[in-house]
Amino acid sequence: MVSFKNRNADKLTMTFRIFNTLTRKIEPFKPLNAKEVGMYTCGPTVYDFAHIGNLRTYIFQDVLRRWLEHRGFAVKHVMNITDVDDKTIKRSQSEGITLNELTSKFEKLFFEDLAALRIKEPSVRCRATEHIEDMVKLIEQLISKDFAYVSEDGVYFSIAKFKDYGKLAGLEKSKVKDMKPGQYSRVAADEYEKEELRDFALWKFYKPEDGLVFWETAVGKGRPGWHIECSAMSMKYLGSSFDIHTGGVDLIFPHHQNEIAQSEAATGKRFVKYWVHGEHFLVDGQKMSKSLGNFYTLRDIAERGFSPLALRYFFLSGHYKTQMNFTWDALKTAHETIGKLDDFTSKVKWLIWQLSQGAKPKHKSDGSLELAVKDATQAFEYYMDENLDTGQALASIHEMIGIANKAIDAGKANADELQQVFDLLMAFNKIFDVITPEEVEISDDEAELISERERLRAARKYKEADVLRDTLHKRGLLLEDTPYGARPKRAKA
């Protein structure tokens, strides 16, 4: 039986390598705890539908998690839900509904999108509004250690007091080094421009425009800043130090940089060992934006008649660190390719069954298919281990499929080889999860017609055989002639 190699954890840590944004290098993955990998994902701000740019990030994180699990690690995957921030408050007020009504709606829709894309549910899903006490405790720690100060409109983190501020984002060292407390202005907004050095809000004191969104706490009446939310929740569930923090490249600064500063200032420990970021992409060669009319959600994909899995496949066909170019033609190609993968997998499964029923290969195997499976298995593992190169890993599977089709068409593939092909496809699909092989059920009457057609073809009575083929076709059952017999397929609607 063919499968990807499952080595023990000690050996695994010597092979899998991932790009670490913090060091700007591809590094061997060595978890803090050999028994369990702690992985945190910056989840959605639930005030609108997730766009396909957001979804690309979650797809790559899903495959990262699956590969780690395949390599033998137990993964505790935590994802936050930002259900209170500037955007959620503004949107709920504009629609005249409560914050919870808004965020509950879009959280539900977000996880429906993840399910449609076959993205695994996180081990822990945590909402910011349910962790206010944890945030307040963290802020109190920062105040007591003199990393935070109280201003007229809130509690702020003093970036000048954190020695390594800017390292993750690659900010100019001289600017950060020469900073002095109070030299730079504060910023209350959750998001601001790249490389804009400002003390950021940990807690925002109540303002009338916040309406009913506030908490009475030890640090004052108000609400949390965006950055403190992720630090409090990730450390609550994964500890003060954990293995992997993921997100899109847009989160490197200020969000992830600020997470590091406030977390490490509070604990005195390294916050995260590996920072892994997915790249943005273009739409028809341009940045995706509503103003350009090229802002798409998964619902737009469905309205065009494409499966959500086509989007999953499209993104996995490129490296997570590359800036891909999304076009509808490219998505159509991905959609068609998935159809071919489904059909090929169904064919192999049928051929294995057919051979078990007494069918024989027409020719003796020359060993090329067995070698192709071995080579594809090794290539797939190599590319996945080397910084999660899904595009090259996928190419290795397609190369094997090409060789398999030639062996099948020539009648050279035997049962053992076909089983190896099928096992490899199933192992691949545990990681990529884009294949849905068709299960074809045929009635006794249809089975008799297929058998009779085969008998007529063997007797060279092709016209009579074609009549039966057409009869089956009218019933929605197509026949694909192979050296192993006629394979039944249901016609697509």
pLDDT, residue 178, reads 62
Reduced to 3 states (helix: H, G, I; strand: E, B; else coil), residue 194 is coil
Q: What is the separation of C-alpha 15 from the centre of its chain, rounded to a whole number of angstroms?
A: 22
d(CA 317, CA 443): 39
Evaluate the CA torsion angle 331, 120, 386, 164 in order and state its sign. Answer: positive
Reduced to 3 states (helix: H, G, I; strand: E, B; else coil), residue 113 is helix
pLDDT, residue 6, reads 43
pLDDT, residue 188, reads 87
What are the angstrom distances between the C-alpha of 72 and each of 10, 51, 78, 315, 436?
A: 10, 32, 19, 25, 25
- List, for the chain, all residue ranges whose pLDDT scores fall below the cut of 50: 1-3, 5-14
Q: State the chain's maximal CA–CA distance in angstroms.
A: 94
d(CA 351, CA 347): 6
pLDDT, residue 7, reads 38
| Strand ranges in 249-348 using DSSP code E only, listed in sequence order | 272-278, 282-283, 286-287, 325-326
Comparing CA positions, the residue from 333, 348, 490, 488 lying closest to residue 415 is 348
pLDDT, residue 13, reads 39
**Which conformational region is residue 360 in: left (phi greater than 0), alpha (psi within -120 to 50 degrees), or beta?**
beta
